[in-house]
Amino acid sequence: MAKTLVLYYSATNTTKRIAEQVAQKLNAEIAEIHPAQAYTVADLNWHDESSRTTVEQHEHNRRVDIKDDLPDITNYDNIVIGHPIWWAIPPRMISTVIDHLDLNGKNLALFATSGGTNYERSQSYVERTIDENGYDTKVNQGAILNNPRQIDGWIDSLNFESSRR
């Protein structure tokens, strides 16, 4: 049976709740992604043009440091990464995560939580990061997931070897 790992970053626990549901439905292990410097409420204020997240998200090809606590993915076949959407793309630390994982030969799928966008720009962003790293990996179509119906539909669309409960 295929082994699946769900990695997620959640600033407000919204993505965490969805990641836990995805992991349970995929019979997957789960681990949290941690930025090297935690985000404060002020950092997350997207109305403030000088807030940390606003500045980070608008710097092209920016990488945001993460803690060196990602799990070893050697024994996993499928990797799922969950994240919020900030300015129509994943937080810049998601590129850093992809840079740090050896995704060669893995099935990769990403999902996001968002109240106001689709996954198109995020998909392009992720695929560009995969290409920059030269990985030979299958990138499944990502999706915005906010409820159990969306989760089930997305999981059914994944090209994963069977690991679902």
Q: What is the pLDDT of residues 95-129, one digit of tens each?
A: 999 999 999 999 999 999 987 889 999 999 999 99
Long-range contacts of 40-48 (CB under 8 A, 24+ apart): 44/11, 44/12, 46/86, 46/87
Task: Provide the token pair at 152.
Answer: 């089930």
Identity of the amino acid at 78:
N
The set of residues, in sequence order, having a beta carbon less than 8 Å from that of 46 and lying 6+ positions away, is 53, 54, 86, 87
- Model confidence pLDDT, tens digit, residues 58-98: 887 789 999 999 999 999 999 999 999 998 899 999 999 99
User: Residue 62 CB: number of other CB atoms within 10 A?
Assistant: 13
CA angle, 26 as apex, 20 and 93 as ends, to 5°?
A: 55
- pTM (predicted TM-score): 0.93
